[in-house]
């Protein structure tokens, strides 16, 4: 995919915030793209659910080596990972 056709990191992060709020975690007030997902209840089961949601919504398969606690700490970091995966197709 061409860089100009990639979703922006900001738009991806906001979509992820909505997805996480609506389908995954009971988030705290003020939850945003920079909120720590682990502090908001992300655990290993929720992480697996998040991977399935992300892979289904964005059509990417995230390499196991990239699935780290730090890479999935915030919606913004996940957005950057999604962009990387899309750009490498």
- 31: CATH: 1.10.1200.10
Does pTM top 0.85 for this prediction?
yes
Could you write out the DSSP letters of every residue in 15-75? HHHHHHHHHT--PPTT--TTS-TTTTT--HHHHHHHHHHHHHHH-----GGG--TTTTSSH
Compute the average pLDDT of residues 64-87: 95
Range of the domain at 70: 3-87
Q: In this prediction, what percent of the chain has a pLDDT beyond 70?
A: 96
Which pLDDT value is given to residue 2? 52
Mean pLDDT of all residues belonging to the chain: 93
What is the percentage of the chain residues whose pLDDT exceeds 90?
85
Provide the domain count of the chain.
1
Q: What pLDDT is stored for residue 89 in this prediction?
A: 80
Question: How confident is the model at residue 88, as a pLDDT?
Answer: 87
């Amino acid at each position: 995919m061409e860089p100009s056709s990639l979703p922006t990191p900001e738009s991806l992060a906001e979509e992820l915030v909505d997805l996480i709020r609506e389908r995954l975690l009971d988030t705290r007030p003020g939850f945003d793209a920079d909120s720590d997902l682990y502090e908001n209840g992300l655990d290993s089961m929720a992480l697996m659910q998040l991977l399935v949601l992300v892979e289904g919504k964005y059509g990417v398969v995230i390499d196991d080596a990239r699935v780290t606690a730090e890479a999935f700490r915030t919606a913004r970091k996940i957005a950057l990972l999604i962009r990387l995966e899309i750009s490498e197709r």
